[in-house]
């Protein structure tokens, strides 16, 4: 199963909507294989957002991400990256479609509630930044056979 990193940003934590957001991923059928509440250090934020260094929003983003605790999740599932990103919605809450996380909970173009890996490569890199290998669990939920059709040996 593919894995992805999700960060519930400081605004999601401060607004007390983490449970609702996590519940959406669980209801969709994505599996939590790692979770933690943490305060992101300046160094970790700079490393995580290094691909954006030099862009006009970079300094503000690093400041925002280090301003308050976040909830960091590792989710697993077939196509978990694409599914999570679709569930998150457009980057800016004001432009996100209703039914998405940002569309239902956000209006700001700065505070956008959630981060999700955008590719398999970035997911591997980001998961390694936020989780030690022994913090990511391998386990099979009993509902997995009701989430996916395994008739051909692979999840469909």
Spatial distance between the Cα atoms of 59 and 52, rounded to a whole number of angstroms: 9
Per the annotation, the verdict on 115 as an active-site residue is yes
Length of the chain: 156
Integer angstrom CA distances of residue 42 from 7, 45, 97: 16, 5, 32
Q: How far apart are the first and last CA of the chain?
A: 11
Spatial separation of the C-alpha atoms in residues 143 and 129, rounded to whole Å: 30
78 touches 1 (CB < 8 A): yes
- Mapping DSSP onto H, E and C, the string for 116-138 reads ECCCHHHHHHHHHHHCCHHHCCC
Q: Which of 105, 115, 126, 131 is catalytic?
A: 115
Question: Among all residues, which ones are annotated catalytic?
Answer: 115
């Amino acid at each position: 199963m593919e894995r992805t990193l999700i960060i519930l940003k400081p605004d999601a934590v401060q607004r007390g909507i983490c449970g609702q957001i996590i519940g959406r991923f669980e209801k969709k059928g994505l599996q939590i294989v790692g979770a933690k509440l943490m305060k992101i250090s300046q160094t970790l934020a700079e490393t995580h957002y290094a691909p954006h260094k030099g862009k006009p929003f970079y300094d503000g983003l690093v400041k925002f991400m280090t301003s308050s605790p976040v909830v960091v999740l590792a989710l697993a599932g077939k196509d978990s990256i694409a599914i999570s990103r679709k569930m998150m919605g457009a980057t800016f809450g004001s432009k996100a479609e209703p039914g998405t996380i940002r569309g239902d909970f956000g209006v700001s173009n700065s505070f956008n509630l959630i981060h999700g890996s955008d590719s398999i490569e970035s997911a591997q890199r980001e998961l390694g930044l936020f989780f030690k290998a022994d913090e990511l669990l391998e386990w099979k939920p009993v509902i997995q056979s009701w989430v996916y059709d395994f008739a051909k040996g692979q999840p469909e």
